[in-house]
Structure 1
Amino acid sequence: MSKQASGGMKAVFTEGSTMRHVIVMTSTSAIGLMAIFFVDAITLFYISQLNDAAQTAAVGRASYVLGFVIGLSVGFMIGASAMVSRSIGAGDDEAARSYSGTSLLSAFAFGIGVAITGFLLTDWLMWLLKAEGQALEYARTYLYIVLPSMPFLGVGMVTMGLLRSKGDAKRSMYLPLIGGALTAALDPIFIFVLGWDVVGAAVVSAIMRVTFAALGLYFVIGIHNMVALPTAERFIKDLKNILKIALPTVATNLAAPVGAFLIAQGVADFGDAAIAGQSVVDRLVPLAFGVIFALSGAVGPIIGQNFGAVKMDRVRQALMDGVIFNAVYVMIAWGLLFIAQDYVVRTYNASGDMELVIRLFCTIMAGSFLFNGMLFVSNAAFNNLGKPLYATLFNWSRQTLGVVPFVYFGAQWAGLTGIYWGIAAGAVVFGVLPVIAAFALIKKLTLEKQQTPDAAPATT
């Protein structure tokens, strides 16, 4: 008799249509993810209404720096969530509360360290992004106001993970949604009514992060009673276990902000208007393709359950369905962006190189997400088939080897237009290769299972 039949948890993804599982899991996961990015999009929209490319570019440049912090926070959130969920599953509430306390204390302390580092490196990072004059002053001011709120961002992100580990997906989703609503309400007041411009945007961003943390703590402590302060000995033990999962995840997550930073460096050579356009693009990407970003996390459990059940045909089919879903979604999103590009340009009061960059995204770069999505789906296969380092390798290759030479030679060939053709070309190379590798890995594992007598799953 199988474990399922004897009363264990049912592996729901081992039955029924794999495509249906892919669609349902991806669409629900995308809501909370897109809400997080919506906050930055709102702020940039309001700043763009000032018709000052220097201020728009300043918020954009600062966001590339903050992107590293978010990548680090997400990695730590995943590590904390994994340890807490395991403890809850094992019925060890004491360990779960201890891990929760350790993760929150560590996230806050880590955020302080990141904020201090950010203060020390601000001018150097802005120099790398070619900020000068008034644009540099705006970016510096924005970062100096927002950086002190980084410890609260870390705490807020961890509370999201803790809520998910408890099974409270609803409140976990509420946190970024409330943050977006708060930003949408306060930005016009601080930017336009008070006349604080980029300073107002920074103040609202800081307020949102503090509120994010406070509300998250209320949910995990006040509602779920999930947190206990660990002893010093237990804190060290908990932190080691959390970092075992968090560090590899951080290594993978940091690839994306590094790639965005390298692209911004190439675009910055063409001035503040171009970097302002790229800042708009970086907000449009998660809003238009947040579903694709969610695809990796959604396909992963489907592949994992079927691999555990030794249903290798369904493992392969889940990967194939992910690739197909990605292709259909990207073609629809690309078509809508192409049609709506005039509206996007007007919305952000774009002209000159700022307008050119937005149009290049809507006509060329958006299509390259067909191949970015292939990478994301392949990552899900690697992570759930016991080869997470493959995901790390391909991610970093995509964001470095797939960016730097393509952007450089593209710029030499055709300026700004060449940069975006280069980005698209790099995506093709590092989208196709991981998919080929993922299918090859499944084929290899299938043969191994067939040659192992004990590989067949138990039957009822």
Structure 2
Amino acid sequence: MKVIARLGLPAGLQSGLFTVFAMFIARIVAQWGAVPIAVQRVGSQIEALSWMTANGFSTALSAFVGQNYGAGKWERIQKGYYASLRIISVFGLGVTCLLIFAARPIFSVFLPEPEAVAYGIVYLQILGLSQVFMCIEITTAGAFNGLGRTIPPSIVGIAFNALRIPAALILSASMLGLNGVWWSISMTSVFKGIVLTTWFVALLQRQAFQVTNAGIKST
């Protein structure tokens, strides 16, 4: 039970707080009326193309890492992780290009009203800039989970998701207006991807150093 709680509670807490933070963001967006709220809802569904695919990679990588971690094969973990990052980064880059350069035709399929399309184009283009980073963050979280270390992804996720609220308030109060809310979401996604990936790479390098030292001492 302790192991289950240790592994499950951080992820559960992150998911619960994500919902709370999203409610605060929705309240900020509501200041601009019903259309931006609908735009955010539809836009997040379009973004699902990225995060659902990344979740698939995360699940697969978690199983791969867990299997090799149990066997003590850190070299395979490293190779598998970097291979996954390359694949998901290319996919994320493709989604970025799609959201930035095809924002109008994509969004107009879901909300054809001119006002909604105008808002939606900006939303997709701003959020499109963070798709690669969101993909690598979700994938890296799977690698951490495979090692049984669910706390680092939760720390990074909770911290930067919480940061969205003050960032949205500050940026939306500037000349950016509603776009400041979108920028707060996009920028924190970028930082989550960078920080969590750096954390995992540092862990891999530290482990490689320990393995090398152990090999030297045994000779």
Range class of TM-score, shorter chain: 0.7 to 0.9
* Structure 1 residues 306 and 346, CA gap change in structure 2 (3 angstroms): closer
- Provide Cα deviations, 1:198-236, integer angstroms capped at 9, x if missing partner: xxxxxxxxxxxxxxxxxxxxxxxxxxxxxxxxxxxxxxx
* Structure 1 residues 244 and 315, CA gap change in structure 2 (3 angstroms): closer
- More RCO (CA 8 Å, sep 6+): 2
Q: Tell me if structure 1 keeps the 8 A contact 2:96–2:132.
A: no
Partner of 1:316: 78
- Provide Cα deviations, 1:357-399, integer angstroms capped at 9, x if missing partner: 3112321202212111222122122222242211211111121
Partner of 2:102: 339
Structure 2 residue 118 is the aligned partner of structure 1 residue 351 = no
Q: Tell me if structure 2 keeps the 8 A contact 1:289–1:333.
A: no
Partner of 2:171: 410
Match of 1:281 among 34, 39, 43: 43
Tell which structure's C-alpha radius of gyration is larger: 1
Residues in 2 aligned to 1:361 and 1:417: alpha-carbon distance in whole angstroms: 7
State the 1:342 CA deviation: 2.6
Partner of 1:251: 13
Amino acid at match of 2:155: L
| Correspondence list, 1:40-439, <5 A | 246-337=8-99, 338-339=101-102, 341-352=104-115, 354-401=116-163, 403-413=164-174, 414-439=176-201
> TM-score w.r.t. structure 2 length?
0.84
Q: Tell me if structure 2 keeps the 8 A contact 1:334–1:366.
A: yes
Residues in 1 aligned to 2:203 and 2:6: alpha-carbon distance in whole angstroms: 25
Task: Give the structure with the larger helix fraction.
Answer: 2
Residues in 2 aligned to 1:281 and 1:350: alpha-carbon distance in whole angstroms: 14
In the comparison of the two structures, how many residue pairs are matched?
214
- Provide Cα deviations, 1:65-87, integer angstroms capped at 9, x if missing partner: xxxxxxxxxxxxxxxxxxxxxxx
Structure 2 unpaired stretches of 5+: none
Residues in 2 aligned to 1:258 and 1:329: alpha-carbon distance in whole angstroms: 29
Residues in 1 aligned to 2:50 and 2:132: alpha-carbon distance in whole angstroms: 13
Q: Percent identity?
A: 23
Structure 2 residue 215 is the aligned partner of structure 1 residue 444 = no
> TM-score w.r.t. structure 1 length?
0.42
Amino acid at match of 2:172: A
- Provide Cα deviations, 1:146-181, integer angstroms capped at 9, x if missing partner: xxxxxxxxxxxxxxxxxxxxxxxxxxxxxxxxxxxx
Amino acid at match of 2:107: V
Residues in 1 aligned to 2:15 and 2:90: alpha-carbon distance in whole angstroms: 25
Structure 1 unpaired stretches of 5+: 1-238, 454-460
